[in-house]
Each structure stands twice: as structure tokens, then as C-alpha cells.
A and B are shown apart, each in its own frame.
Chain A
Amino acid sequence: MTKLIINKKEYVLDLKGHETLLEVLRDKLSLTGTKTACEESECGTCTVNINGKAILSCITLAADIEGEEVTTIEGLAIGDHLHPVQQAYVDYGAVQCGFCIPGMIMSSKALLDKNPTPTQEDIEYALDGNICRCAGYPKIFDAVYKAGEIMKRGEAVKEIDEKKDKFKSTMAKGLTYEEFLNLPK
């Protein structure tokens, strides 16, 4: 039996040696938020975080990550409070068909946890393994920048771009990032 820690919950599972984390998440645990569009490490759609790093679950053997901290898209929001990265993706219209978005958000979060003030180049490199076919990438870049600002400053960003009449973005329900992180889980 193998003990996996996923979104801070422990699962004790009878795993076969060849089962990937992706298969375990989707087929065994019904955590279908993590997608895949290739199963051969090319599309980034299956990205999760393991110990804070963006990792492709389609080429990660589940049995190999016993005891490590796995976070999936289902593990970001707290109650009905979205994580700032999630909130920014909604606010900046970075979402189209949405199939790439869970992986895209997990890559974004891994970047911003390490570096909340990324340059354009940092963002492009961090997300280069994640294909988006619908939206191009500009709105995704916007979302990552602004989420980083919220996470770094620990405060709400009031106005995004007044000229363009875009949405006001704040932390979910007016919380600071610090307060968000301290919400009762």
C-alpha cells in the first residue's frame, strides 16, 4: 500500500508500479480537474504541483511520490474563496475553453510561489510547457502578473486598467493574500 498526500489529504492506495499520478488522480480519486491532452509530456495540461514545483502528472509514477506534497487544481481554493491565481484568470478573461487552464494555473502558481514579480520572460518560460489553443497567451500573461502582485504585496489590487474598462480584481471577497492563506481549511 502506498500513502499519497494530495491536497493535504492522505490516501492509502493499492498501486500498480506502472500507474501514473495522472491515472490515479483521474481514475482512482475522481479528481478530474487535472486534464491531459497528450499523455506524452508535450501539452502541460496535466501539470500539478509536487513540493511546490510544477510537475507533469502523466509521466510521474504515483508510487514514486509517496509522502510528497501533491497539490492539484482542486486544492487551491479555500471554501468559496478562490486562490489569487484563479481569481486573476477569471478577472482577466484568461479562460476560454478551459481545458488547459488547470495545468496553466498550476504552472503559474509554482512560478509565483517562488517569484511573485516575474518578468515577461520569466512568465513565458514558466508557461512554455503549457499549450493553450484557444486564447493565445496575452490574457494569461496579464493574469499571472496581477496574481503575482496580489501575492507579493499581500493586498488587493484595485484597478487593473481603467482605460480598457476591465474588471476590478481583488483577492477573493476582499481578503489579503495573507488572510487567504490563513483561512480555516
Chain B
Amino acid sequence: MSISTNSSQNQINLNPVGKSVPRIDGKGIVTGQTKYVFDVSFPNMLIGKMIRSPHPHARILRIDTSKAEALAGVRAIITAKDTYNIKYGSNEYFFPHTVDQMALESEKVRYIGDEIGAVAAVDEETALAALELIEVEYEQLPSVTDVLEAMKPGAPQIHDAMNNIGVILPVNFGNPERAFKESFLVREDKFYASAAAMAALEPHVCVGQWETFSNKITLWASSQAPFKCREALAKTLKMDLNDIRVIKLAVGGGFGGKLEMLPMDFASCLLSKKAGGLPVKICYNREEEFSFSRRKHAMYYKVKTGVTKDGLLTGMTGEVIADGGAYCSYGPTVMAAAIMRIFMVYKIQHFRINGYRVYTNTPISGAMRGFGGVQSGFAIESHMDLLAKDLGLDPIEFRLKNITTPNMVTVNKMFLTTNGLKECIEKAAVASEWTHKRGNQSYHKSGILRRGIGIGIAADVMGSKMYKSHESAGAIVKVEEDGSVYLFTGAADTGQGSNTALSQIAAHALGVKYERIKCKSGDTEITPFDTGSFASRVTFISGNAALRAGQDAKMQILEIVAQELKIALTDLDLIGEEVLNTKDKTVLMNFDKALELCYSFNYGKQIIGRGSYNPKTTPIDFRTGEGNVSGSYGFEAQIAEVEVNIETGEVKILKIWDAHDIGKAINPQSVEAQIEGSLAMGIGYTFTEDLRFKNGRVLNPNFANYRVPRSIGTPEMHSILIETDDPEGPFGAKGMGEASLLPTSAAIANAIEDACGVRIKDLPITPAKIIQALKDNQSIT
């Protein structure tokens, strides 16, 4: 038996960018040694529980905690009277009027689960017993849980917002009515995209500790945005930012659900203070996770489009109504994503879509992976297929006539530089044998099992200024005397692998092997600022910071070498652990030698590189939708092949192809993994994931009744990586991670229509809907 010595454990990655190096945290994860906040425990740690409203809408008249306080083992109880009653919000910088939530509500509760207090006790049993002893007197108010009812005059008012409309986003360019008049045909469709749960496996969990003598707080949080969490804590607790340290450990998935400070984060800190500084852990159980965290906005999406006889888009109008739940959360940016993404995908000059995000007495809708792009992706990409059908055009041919191109400015002043959308479509079409399968009546179109193929396309930002005037990321590369290299980044790896990708970038920029890097991330006291993991921004923005820090550290080393060898700095480079004379290509010394020189008697130079990056964007005018939101844009095309059983209505996905312009794959294996994960989530959203409510209560708050994809039935997934080498991206890379989720539902719905002629316009697509549509032999809405 021959044994290879080339095991991955010994593999050396000298120039790691573009290689599928193993995850930097891989061994820790597979051995169970990686620590999540879920696993954190301290001596004398208390267990906290939130006091929640049992009513969808009610006035708080009285809270009596005395019996609970008298219970043995209870260490602290807090309610709004222990707080400053300061409201916080997630889009505060751009939308101050959407700041509408208190860490603990003082006057009114607005959904079942709304937090009005918290208890801390020596163990979970005691904390739960204490909850039972808390007496709250409510005056129940009329509630409204349906979004369309909530908009009607006379509906119960949840906040001070006319018709409960918390966010109005009008996006308006040109004159679509005139464009319609000049169109060959105009078509209108209505779609519904359902609510969904993030369902990250690690629940929301935190440990707060308030050092009462020094008046400093440490919060260990399962967070996608530790710095954002710190800011919200500082505001609501009236503390200085620097008195709060938020530490992110390994995070067991986020998907948007862990972007914001939740009342539990606030409560764990304040409970700790009241308990004399003992640490307090609060951990959601799965029911709380489904019922009281955040969810995807359900949306009604109405869209009307005109086209010329040749199939060119002339104008588009529409209306988006989103169920926002009880508070605003990331509502404005979700609405912006639901409407403005279309400009990255299609050339369109005359446009007016108005977005309304409406309060209801249901749990809070937030920013789930893709923001509003998943819902709009389903609507717009389904609508495009229907337009193509009306025109008698192949869906791909129709799209190719209308897609955006490289180096163009969109009507709302987005600057699309590199743009691989055309190539994505073409490559996906070839890989999937589109021309052979699409509309081919001899290709599995008879019998019980009918096959069909459908496409959806999408584009995505890489970053978005959501809570600050800037969106910069920072990085530090510290090269130690022993040759170890530390990367400090504020970016929050929530499982997507950013610590690995950023380490690859830093190593490559510095000119050393990947194996040297140790990555420290997401600690507000130790690492540079970073706005967090959202909007597919980390590889692009935090990656650019890591790149600059690596380059800076390299220059510091080369300066010493230049001085010592009396060679011009411009003639030196450090690549793959070797210092080179770039003029004659000779190797002057290896990295270890160069480092020895830096730390020698004569020089004693510490190597500390720093990098900062803020994307080149322009301010967005949210009254019109104008502005360049992102430093670059990513594109993709997705094709699904399905088999529909026309007797049972069951749909099986046979294969799915995803061609993605990611600029440059820093780690191809991780890019594929992100695509596959998105596809799985998109398939789940299309068929089974549907968070259902009755009178404001979640009906299916568990994995038995909220069905996420499992291993059985996983289709073949084919990723095609298109590298357009973005001039602004680190090593040409763009962000990715959300875009692959955007067109999935539409690609599947389009394939179903190709297979059996029925069009499903409301999610999720269930066998019952397909059977009904087959019976009606027409579209259902």
C-alpha cells in the first residue's frame, strides 16, 4: 500500500489566492473544538430569559415582579423602568424615522413575543419558574395581522404611521406611461412571495457581563455585525462605545438574522449589572428562534411592463407591499433591494415602482439573505418569462436583448464596470443543453413525468451603506519575529469562510504561504472596525483592507532589505516566501531571512501592516432611488431542470446550473460551497419553507413543520465560475453569497411551466397548487 506524502496536512500554499485551500478553522470544526457562544460557560454564570408579550397588540398597564424576585435562585429582573427607554433601529443613519424599537418596551406591545423584561437566575429551571410568577396586566388592543388589512383606513394603528406604512420607497425615472403607449404590448402580473425563517442552526445566543466597578461591558454574541451591535448597545445603555466590547466567536450561521442587536443582547448586559456583575447567558430555543427572531418579508409584487415588437423593454411600473411585522428592522434596505436591483440586471429607462413596507402585529421581518432580492427575483424573473412567451421569444433570447452590459451607467446612476451577465447566461445555456431541452415537445413532454427547463438571472451589490456614512473596513497584518503572521480583521465570519478567504488574500499580498496566517476577527476591542457580514460585502470590502494591510507589511520588510542590500526598493518584491530582485529575477533571500534582518540588532523593525478600504460609491437619494450603491456588481444566471409528476403535482429538480460572475474566485471550493448552499436554501424557499401565522402566532415554529432542505432529494448542482477580474476587487474578486439565491424560485417556476404548462405565481410551489393549476389549465395567482 503506497502512502502519499502529499497529504493536505502537509500541503504548502505559497500563492494561495485562487486555490481551494482548506478552511482555516476546518480542523477545529471537525473535531468539535471550535467554540461558539453556544458553548461558552463561566463560573457563576446566570441563565437569562426574556419576558414576552402573549398578545399581538396591547397596552402595558402594570408589571409586578415581586413574586418572581422572591423566588430562591432569582438574581435579577429588569423591565423598561430599569432602562432609558431609548429607541434604536437598523437603518438609523438614512431613515431616522424608522427608529422604532425599544430594547424593552414600556407602553405597548406589538407582537406575540415582544420583549418587556428579562429575568436572570442560577439555572434555566429557576428562570423559567420566575417567568411564570411575573404578573403583567395588559389592556388588549385591536390587532391587525394581515398586511393588506393593515393598510386600510381605520385599521388599528401600530405605530404613528399613516395606514401603518412604515416605509415608503418610490423609485421613479422617466415616463413609463408614455413608454407603455408606445409599446407593442404591455403585460401585468401579480406575485406573492411568502415569509421564511433564517433557521440558522446555532440559535441566537449571548453572554453579557457588566464589570460594575470599572463600568465596562463585554458581550459574547453570535453576531454578523459586532460593531453594529456595540453601537446599538451604547445608544440604548447610554454608554461610550469604548466601554463596550463585543466579541464574536465562531458563529453557527446567520443569514441576516444576526445582523442586529436584539433585546436579549441588551438584557444580558443589564441583568449582569443588576446581578452585581455575574455573567448572564441568554440562548433562544428553537421555538423562540422561529417565533421571535427575524424573518424574511412576505411580499405582494405587482409589475407591469411594456415591450417593443422586437422584444426590447420600454417601461415598467409596479407596486410592492411588504409585511414588515411589528418593527422596522432593516425594512428600508430590504425595500430598496426589492426594487432597485432590477437596474443592475436590465436596461430600462422608464420606471416607477413604489414600495410600501407595512407594520402588522406579527413578528419582525428583517434582512434575510438577499434582502428583498429573493422576493423580487421570483416576481421579475417569472414576469420576464411570461413577457417572452407573449412575444413568442425564447426566454434566453429575450433576456439577452435587454440585459445590462459592461461599463454602463444605469438610469439610477449605478456604475456597472465589469459585467459578466451575458457570459453567465451563455455558459449556463451551453452547460444545460438549453437549446435541446427548452420547449422541445419530444423531450419528456408526454406521460406522467414531464420535464422542463427554466432560467432566472440576477445581479447583486457587494456592500451597501446601511448604518453609517462610510462603509470602510480595516485590517492589520502583524508579522512576528518567529515568522508567524497575524491578520486582524473586523469582518465577521459567520460560517461562510471569510477568515479563510481574507487570510488567503493577506498571505498572497504579503508574499507568504497561507499556512503562516492566524486570523483574529470580529472583536470590537482588538480588531479594526468593520460594518459586518451582509450584502455580500466581506470579500470585496474587507478583502481590500486585508490586501492593503498585506501589501503594507510587505513594503516594510522590503524597505529593510533595500536598505541592507543597497538595492532600490522599486526593484524588490516578495513573492511566495522569496525576496526577488525584479530586474534580474534573482532570489536574494527567503522570507525567514528577510524577517531575521528586520528584527536584527541594526534594524529592530516591527512589521505591522495596516489597510483600510471604503468602496467608491455615491450617496443614494432614497426619494428617487438614484445613486451608486456598490463599488462593483456581481452577476449570475441560473438554469433549473425539473420533472413534474402531473398526477401528484410533485416536482423533482433534476439538475441546476449556476454561472456566476465572481470576478475572481479567491477560494473556488468555498465559492462553490456558497453557491450550493444558496441553491439549497432557494429550493427550500420555493417548495416547502413557509412561515405560517394565525392571529400573529407562528404556527410552525419547529423543524418538523418548517421544512428546510434535507439530504434526500438534493439535486445535482453545477457551478460555473466566471472570472471577469474586477479592477476594484482584491485580486479581481467580487463579493458573492447572496446572488445565487435570487433567481432560484423563478428558474424553477419557469421550468415547471416549460414542463407542464402551468404557471405558479405564489410561493411556495406546492403539489396542491400544481394540481389545481393543471385542472384549471391556466395560471393561478
A: residues with CB less than 8 A from B are 26, 30-35, 37-40, 42-43, 45, 72-74, 76-77, 82, 86-87, 89-93, 95-102, 105, 123-125, 127-141, 154-156, 158, 164-176
Docked-complex contact A37 and B202, CB < 8 angstroms: yes
In the complex, B285 has a CB within 8 A of chain A: yes
Q: Which among B21-29, B349-357, B745-753 touches the partner chain?
A: B21-29
CB-defined contacts of B680 to chain A, threshold 8 Å: 135-137
Please, which residue of chain B has its CB at the minimum distance from the CB of A30? Answer: B41
**A144 (CB) vs chain B CBs: closest residue:** B711
B1-35 interface bits toward A, Cβ cutoff 8 Å, 1 = contact, 0 = none: 11111111111000000011011011111111111
* B482 at interface, CB cutoff 8 A: no
CB-based nearest B residue for A107: B711
A171 to chain B, nearest CB (A): 7
Do residues A90 and B495 form an inter-chain contact, with CB atoms below 8 A?
Answer: no
Q: Does A96 lie within 8 Å of B673, measured CB to CB?
A: yes
By a CB distance below 8 angstroms, the chain B residues around A131 are 201, 703, 708, 710
Whether, in the assembled complex, B679 has its beta carbon less than 8 Å from a beta carbon of chain A, the answer is yes
| Given known A-B contacts A32-B32, A98-B29, A136-B677, A170 and B714 have beta carbons under 8 A apart | no
B148 → chain A closest CB, angstroms: 31
Task: Tell me the dominant secondary structure on chain B's binding face.
Answer: loop
Known: A90-B22, A91-B22. A171 touches B677 (CB 8 A): no
Given contacts A89-B26, A135-B680, 10 further A-B contacts (CB under 8 A): A42-B704, A87-B8, A128-B710, A137-B676, A138-B714, A139-B673, A139-B676, A154-B1, A165-B668, A170-B4
B3 touches A168 (CB 8 A): no
In the complex, B497 has a CB within 8 A of chain A? yes
Contact A95 B251 (CB under 8 A): no
In Å, the complex CA distance between A152 and B250 comes to: 34
- Compute how far the CA of A137 lies from the CA of B251 in the bound complex, rounded to whole angstroms: 19
Q: Residue B703 contacts which of A42, A77, A87 (CB distance < 8 angstroms)?
A: A42
**Contact status of A124 and B200, CB under 8 A, knowing A136-B676, A168-B8, A172-B9:** no
B250 near A97 with CB under 8 A, answer yes
CA distance A26 to B38 in the complex (A): 11
Q: A97-B201, A158-B4 are in contact. Are A33 and B32 (CB under 8 A)?
A: yes
Is B669 in contact with chain A by the CB < 8 A criterion? yes
Taking Cβ atoms with an 8 Å cutoff, the residues of B that contact A are 1-11, 19-20, 22-23, 25-36, 38-39, 41, 199-203, 250-253, 255, 285-286, 494-497, 668-670, 672-673, 676-681, 702-704, 708-714, 716-717
A40, A134, A156, A165 pick with most chain B CB within 10 angstroms: A134
Residues A169 and B252 in contact, CB atoms below 8 Å apart: no
A173 touching B30 by the CB < 8 A rule? no
Complexed CA–CA distance, A174 and B717 (Å): 31
Which residues of chain A are near B251, meaning CB under 8 Å? 97
Option from A90, A97, A155 in Cβ contact (under 8 Å) with B3: A155
The smallest beta-carbon distance between B16 and chain A, in angstroms, is 12
Determine whether the beta carbon of A138 is less than 8 Å from that of B27: no
Take A97-B495, A137-B711, A170-B7 as given contacts and tell me if A74 and B29 are in contact as well, using a CB distance cutoff of 8 Å: no
Q: Which residues of A contact B31 (CB under 8 A)?
A: 33, 73-74, 76-77, 82, 86
Specify which chain B residues have a CB less than 8 angstroms from the CB of A134 in the assembled complex: 253, 495-496, 673, 677
Question: Residues of A contacting B703 with CB < 8 Å?
Answer: 37-38, 40, 42-43, 131
Inter-chain CA distance A155–B1, complex, in Å, is 6
Q: How far is the CA of A72 from the CA of B30 in the complex (A)?
A: 11
Q: Smallest CB–CB gap between B235 and chain A, Å?
A: 29
Contacts of B250 in A (CB 8 A): 97-98
Closest Cβ of chain A to B158, distance in Å, is 31
Complex: how many Å from CA A72 to CA B1? 30
Known: A98-B34, A99-B36. Contact between A128 and B285, CB under 8 A? no
Closest to B255 in A: A133
A152 CB to closest chain B CB (Å) equals 13
Query: What residues of chain B lie closer than 8 Å to A165, measured between beta carbons?
Result: 19-20, 668
Partner of A168, one of B7, B252, B669, B670: B7
Show 14 A/B contacts (Cβ-Cβ < 8 Å), sorted by A: A37-B286, A45-B201, A76-B31, A92-B669, A96-B677, A98-B495, A124-B711, A127-B711, A133-B255, A133-B708, A156-B4, A158-B4, A158-B6, A169-B7
CB contacts (< 8 Å) of A99 on chain B: these are 36, 38, 200-202, 252-253, 495
Say yes or no: A37-B203 contact (C-beta < 8 A), given A138-B714, A156-B2, A170-B3. yes
| A93-B670 CB under 8 A given contacts A124-B711, A131-B710 | yes
State the Cβ distance, B332 to closest chain A Cβ, in Å: 27
CA distance A162 to B669 in the complex (A): 13
Q: Would you list the 9 A-B pairs with minimal beta carbon distance, nearest first?
A: A33-B32, A97-B495, A99-B252, A136-B680, A98-B29, A73-B32, A42-B703, A93-B669, A136-B676
- CB <8 Å contact, B35 and A32: yes
From A37, A93, A141, A176, B672 is in contact (CB under 8 Å) with A93
Shortest beta-carbon distance from B431 to chain A in Å = 14
- Measured between beta carbons, the chain B residues less than 8 angstroms from A168 are 4, 6-8, 11
- Cα A47 to Cα B377 in complex, Å, equals 37
A156 to B4, CA, bound (A): 7
Complex Cα–Cα for A26 and B35 (A): 12
Q: Are A175 and B3 in contact (CB under 8 A)?
A: yes
The answer to whether B20 and A133 have CB atoms under 8 Å apart is no
Question: Which residues of A sit under 8 angstroms from B36, Cβ to Cβ?
Answer: 35, 99
Instruction: Report which of B11, B39, B202, B704 forms a contact with A167, defined as CB distance below 8 A.
Output: B11
Q: Using Cβ atoms and an 8 Å threshold, which residues of chain A touch B255?
A: 133
Q: In this complex, what residue of B is CB-closest to A176?
A: B1
Among B19, B28, B250, B495, chain A packs the most CB atoms within 10 A around the CB of B495
Which chain A residue lies CB-closest to B714?
A: A137
In the complex the two chains form, what is the Cα distance from A128 to B286 in whole Å? 19
Q: Are A40 and B201 in contact (CB under 8 A)?
A: no
Within the complex, the shortest CB–CB distance from A33 to chain B, in Å, comes to: 2
- Measured CB to CB, the closest approach of chain B to A82, in angstroms, equals 7
B714, A91: Cβ atoms under 8 Å? no
Instruction: Give A87 to B717 CA distance when docked, in angstroms.
Output: 23
A90 touches B8 (CB 8 A): yes
- Quick one: which of A30, A123, A138, A170 contacts B8, CB cutoff 8 A? A170
A141–B669 CB distance below 8 A: no
Cβ contact within 8 Å between A96 and B35: no
B38 CB contacts on chain A under 8 angstroms: 32, 35, 99
A105:B676 contact, CB within 8 angstroms: no
B250 to A, closest residue via Cβ: A98
Quick one: which of B30, B203, B711 contacts A105, CB cutoff 8 A? B30
Instruction: Report the minimal beta-carbon distance from B685 to chain A, rounded to whole angstroms.
Output: 12
A38 to B283, CA, bound (A): 12
Q: Are A93 and B673 in contact (CB under 8 A)?
A: yes
> Which of A32, A125, A158 is packed against the most chain B CB atoms within 10 Å?
A32
**Of B8, B9, B200, B713, the contact of A97 (CB 8 Å cutoff):** B200
Cα–Cα, bound, A125→B31 (Å): 24
Note all chain A residues with C-beta closer than 8 A to B3: 155-156, 170-171, 174-176
B286 is contacted by which of A34, A40, A136, A154 (Cβ under 8 Å)?
A: A40
Decide: B5 and A98 in contact? CB cutoff 8 A.
Answer: no
B203: A residues at CB distance < 8 A: 37
Which residues from B are CB-within-8-Å of A26? 39
Bound together, the chains give a CA A33 to CA B28 distance in angstroms of 10
**B682 and chain A: residue at smallest CB distance:** A136
| Nearest CB in chain B to that of A174: its residue | B3
A121 to B: closest C-beta gap in Å: 8
Q: Which residues of B contact A97 (CB under 8 A)?
A: 200-202, 250-253, 494-496
Write out the residue numbers on chain A whose beta carbons fall within 8 Å of the beta carbon of B678.
Answer: 136
B residues less than 8 Å from A30 (CB atoms):
41
Instruction: Given A90-B8, A96-B495, verify A101-B709 contact (CB < 8 Å).
Output: no
The answer to whether A124 touches B712 (Cβ under 8 A) is: yes
Chain B CB count within 10 A is highest, among A42, A136, A155, for: A136
**B631, chain A: closest CB distance, angstroms:** 25
Asked whether B7 lies within 8 Å of A171 as measured between CB atoms, the reply is yes
Chain A residues lying within 8 Å of B34, measured Cβ to Cβ, are 98
Residue of A whose beta carbon sits closest to that of B202 = A99
Name the one of A42, A96, A138 contacting B496, with C-beta atoms under 8 angstroms: A96
The answer to whether A167 touches B252, judged by C-beta atoms less than 8 angstroms apart, is no
